[in-house]
């Protein structure tokens, strides 16, 4: 069975008398271990879809099944629990806590996920090597370059071995070299760790590293196509 099944998903924002249909009739399935890029112009509904898939907001129409569970039937508390245990997030602005070290940022993510398993130091060593972060983890975010901060954010997202990794414009603030490092790591998470990766991007070249590309326009999914699987 697919790990994510979206059926006729919709989201209408209401502010006073104003109604915005940010997402309409979005239907697709994503398999375990698949890497899917979501592309589309600004305002096309990418973030809305991302927040729904991440359990951060509820759809106003349609249904969403994640790992066979009907997301819309869960209470807020259950949804939060599922999100913390199974989904890793990466954002454009890194979102690291500024007052603690990179290492502590990663360990805190493990604590919050509340998986009941001990902190996986061997995995952190592996991720740190893959991401070129050796010798950088004792530094606070402001002592790291933007590229290093995003690589720390990737390690933080992967440390709990989440089944699903959601990345919102993860290379939006990065130079080419760091963008490639981040994209290659997400590719590896999918291909070698069998994690399901969904990545929003503005960059059509970056999207090609995925297995498939979902294209959005005016709140609708207008295409789902195979991608190259490499840069
Ligand atoms: P994208 O991520 O592709 O730029 P969004 O999902 O952010 O698109 O936005 C889709 C549409 O929904 C836009 O018209 C946007 O203005 C609107 N929208 C997004 N969030 C809200 C919100 N919280 N309240 C009202 N309208 C919103
Ligand atoms: P990268 O692109 O590999 O992330 P940069 O080329 O930006 O790194 O930086 C080269 C070196 O300078 C790195 O070792 C990095 O730690 C250091 N550096 C970059 N920005 C800062 C900063 N704001 N404060 C301290 N050190 C930094």
**Structure confidence by residue, pLDDT tens digits, 152-173:** 999 999 999 999 999 999 999 9
44 versus 1: the higher-pLDDT residue is 44
Q: Which residues of 113-124 are buried (b: 16+ CB within 10 A; e: fewer)?
A: bebeeeeeeebb
CB distance 164 to 196 below 8 Å: yes
Q: Which of 10, 37, 48 to mutate to test the pocket of ligand 1 (most atoms within 8 A of CB)?
A: 48
The pLDDT assigned to 140 comes to 98
Average pLDDT, stretch 63-74?
90
Q: How far is the CA of 122 from the centre of ligand 1 (A)?
A: 40
**CA dist., res. 218 & res. 45, Å (int):** 7
pLDDT at 224: 97
Query: Mutate which of 13, 38, 207 to test ligand 1's pocket (most atoms within 8 Å of Cβ)?
Result: 13
pLDDT in tens, 190-229: 999 999 999 999 999 999 999 999 999 999 999 999 999 9
Q: Does the beta carbon of 42 sit less than 6 angstroms from any atom of ligand 1?
A: yes
Nearest-ligand number for the alpha carbon of 138: 2
Angstrom distances, CA of residue 187 to CA of 56, 144, 155, 216? 24, 24, 14, 22
The answer to whether 121 and 157 are in contact (CB under 8 A) is: no
Structure tokens at 185: 């790591």
Tell me which residue has tokens 């939006």: 172
Distance 48 CA to ligand 1 centre (A): 6
Nearest by Cα to 160 from 200, 209, 127, 198: 127
CA 169 to chain CA mean position, Å: 9
178 lines ligand 2 (CB under 6 A): yes
Least confident residue range of 33-47, 62-76, 184-198: 62-76
Measured in Å, residue 96 CA sits from the centre of ligand 2 at: 16
Contact 72, 59 (CB under 8 A): yes
What is the DSSP pairing of strand 61-66 with strand 4-15? antiparallel
Q: Distance (Å, rounded) from C-alpha 140 to C-alpha 5? A: 39
Which ligand has the minimum distance to the alpha carbon of residue 219?
1
Give CA–CA dist 98/208, Å, rounded.
Answer: 33
Residue 95 Cα to chain centre, angstroms: 13
Report the distance separating Cα 215 and Cα 28, nearest Å: 12
Helix, coil or strand: residue 175: coil
Q: Answer yes or no: is the C-beta of 15 below 6 A from any ligand 1 atom.
A: yes
Q: Rounded distance, CA 201 to CA 213, Å?
A: 10
Is the CB of 101 inside a 6 Å radius of any atom of ligand 2? Answer: no
């Amino acid at each position: 069975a697919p790990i994510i099944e979206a059926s006729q998903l919709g989201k209408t924002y209401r502010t006073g008398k104003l109604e915005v249909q940010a997402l309409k009739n979005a239907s697709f399935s994503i398999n375990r271990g698949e890497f899917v890029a979501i592309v589309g112009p600004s305002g096309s509904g990418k973030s809305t879809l991302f927040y729904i898939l991440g359990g951060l907001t509820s759809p106003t129409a349609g249904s969403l099944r994640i790992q066979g569970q009907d997301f819309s039937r869960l209470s807020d508390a259950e949804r939060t629990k599922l999100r913390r245990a199974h989904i890793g997030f990466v954002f454009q602005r890194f979102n690291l806590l500024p007052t603690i070290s990179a290492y502590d940022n990663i360990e805190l993510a493990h604590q919050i996920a509340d998986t009941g398993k001990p902190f996986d130091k061997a995995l952190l060593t592996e991720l740190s090597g893959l991401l070129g972060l050796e010798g950088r983890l004792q530094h606070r975010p402001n002592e790291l370059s933007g590229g290093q901060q995003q690589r720390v954010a990737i390690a933080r997202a992967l440390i709990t071995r989440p089944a699903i990794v959601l990345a919102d414009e993860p290379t939006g603030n990065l130079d080419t070299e760091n963008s490639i490092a981040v994209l290659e790591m997400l590719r590896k998470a999918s291909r070698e760790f069998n994690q399901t990766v969904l990545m929003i991007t503005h960059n059509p070249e970056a999207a090609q590293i995925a297995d498939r590309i979902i294209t959005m326009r005016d709140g609708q999914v207008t295409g789902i196509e195979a991608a190259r699987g490499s840069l």
